[in-house]
Amino acid sequence: LCDEAAVRVLVEQAPAAVNWLIQHGVQFDRAQPDSSIHTTSASNAIHTTPDGLLLGREAAHSRWRVLHAGGDATGAEIERALMAALQKHPRIAVYEETYVNALLVYDGVCTGLEAIDKSGQPFTIEAKATVLANGGAGGLWLHTSNPAGATADGLALAWRAGAVLSDLEFMQFHPTVLAVNGGSHLVSEAVRGEGAFLRNHAGERFMPRYGSRAELEPRDVVARAILSEMLSEGTDCQYLDLRHLPAEKMHARFPTISAICRKYGLDLARDLLPVAPAAHYCMGGVMVDTYGRSTLPGLYAVGEVACTGVHGANRLASNSLLEGLVFGLRLADGLQTHPIDNDTPSIVGAIPCGRPETAPGRPEKWPGHLEKWPDIRSGRPEKWPDRHTITIPVPTNSLENVSTANAGPVSLSDIRREVRSVMWQYVSLCRDEEGLLEARRRVHALKQSLPAALDIEHGGAAHLAQWAETRNMLLMAELVIIAAMQRRESRGSHWRRDYETLDASLTGRHFAYVQETTVLTPENPRKEVIAHA
């Protein structure tokens, strides 16, 4: 399902993008004088780039080509460097403890946003370009490697504004999250890349039974193998074993994981580490082209909230950071090279598409705005989208029918816990029609217990944000369920017990979802409306 054009952009522009990070202060790992800590368990070889950057290998990669920083703290190092650069920029204003409540849409164009500050006061920001970069949806599941705020808010904002969402059935579950005290600490795939084994409670190294690449099989294969062993044994975890690897090297190579293990009384190199799968990364998202442009004029998306098509049905390890970097730079370059027309509508009269009392956005053109955007590489209009997509209109009232009256005392935390439990039980690694129907029924029932916004306003800004997040979770949970029901096959991270094989007729086919009120035009010949979900 990978979009070949998007993949080519990713691999061809990756070196320049990585160099951009280095120029902005990111310190990637390099070979040190004591190079012994960098040798692999399989050989004494050190894998580096010509200029000395260390290369790692992770699951399903055929070569050593993954850069790391601080051993296993790559994301933290990139964040450190970019935050330092951001704080020095004179034209960037940062709003902390602020929750975006709705996108503003006027005459089919996104013109800005409505937000709530930490005191609970709403305010609006007018923008010719609004960019969503607010992460994924792992928080919809009971077990996740994601932070608490990953509640699919960006997806919900885009949906309510009238943008198209795609590939929502493809949620990747990371195989090895540390299963201690209900934590969400991810044990990097690089640990298995360095030679760690997976063992069941009988001590058997079981992955060779599931594939020739054993521990280096793709994430979905490893995650389902771990789940299979857990179900067979009636246990809640399996074990990651580094005991056969040099202890000093492992502690030096994975300092963050080592420190987390110590916190729980475990030694990374001497103890069996209890691990289990957890929701990790959403391959679907706001459907965009290779410049981050959504189907809604004025709205852009980048990172996990976006669906560029580069990940297909099952993301390759470590490609998420690279995707955000490459396509983030392209998005910024596009806005600078081809600034938006000055006649962009004002926010005056714009509809805040997100409040329960307002109507959804109704874009009149989709995606006519792309005619204004020449392809930066060739000067020709870019094809939109360059993938075979079936678009399914979903009646808005079937998803937004939350309670409009006070349903009595209701705990938002109870609703959130229940929707996560439902998604984990019926919409996680293994799915089937019966379970998906039950999940949709239970999510619908949870919507009826969600109090109206006016019932909870007395709780302050934090409570308002929690209510909005909960509403977003319920909306996106049902859309994910609809997507999982629609794809009647097993492909990548989407595996169904009742359709265990690939359907050849769906090879290369994407399912996208749009509000029923959105007008589809002949400008999109590859889109075919086939059913109401």
Residue positions annotated with a catalytic role = 219
Determine contact, residues 58/189, Cβ cutoff 8 Å.
yes
Closest C-alpha among 320, 208, 172, 193 to residue 253: 193
Orientation angle between helical segments 74-88 and 319-337, nearest 10 degrees: 20
What is the DSSP pairing of strand 171-178 with strand 299-301?
A: unpaired
Angle CA 532–293–4, to nearest 5: 85
Q: CB-side exposure of 402: number of CA atoms within 13 Å?
A: 25
Helices then strands, counting H and E runs in the chain, come out as 11, 15
Q: Residue 171: which residues within 8 A CB-CB, separation 6 or more?
A: 137, 138, 141, 279, 281, 282, 283, 284, 428, 480, 493, 494
How many beta carbons lie within 10 A of that of residue 269, not counting itself? 20
Phi–psi pair at 316, nearest 5 degrees: -75, 140
Phi–psi pair at 389, nearest 5 degrees: -130, 130
Closest C-alpha among 262, 237, 240, 236 to residue 251: 262
C-alpha pair distances (Å), 221 with each of 203, 237, 378, 467, 492:
20, 16, 40, 36, 9
How many residues appear in the chain? 533
Which token pair is 520? 């589809």
Whole-angstrom distance, CA of residue 412 vs CA of residue 335:
40
Whole-angstrom distance, CA of residue 193 vs CA of residue 133:
30
Cis peptide before 363, with omega less than 30 degrees from 0? no
C-alpha pair distances (Å), 153 with each of 208, 408, 411, 465, 474:
39, 26, 20, 11, 11
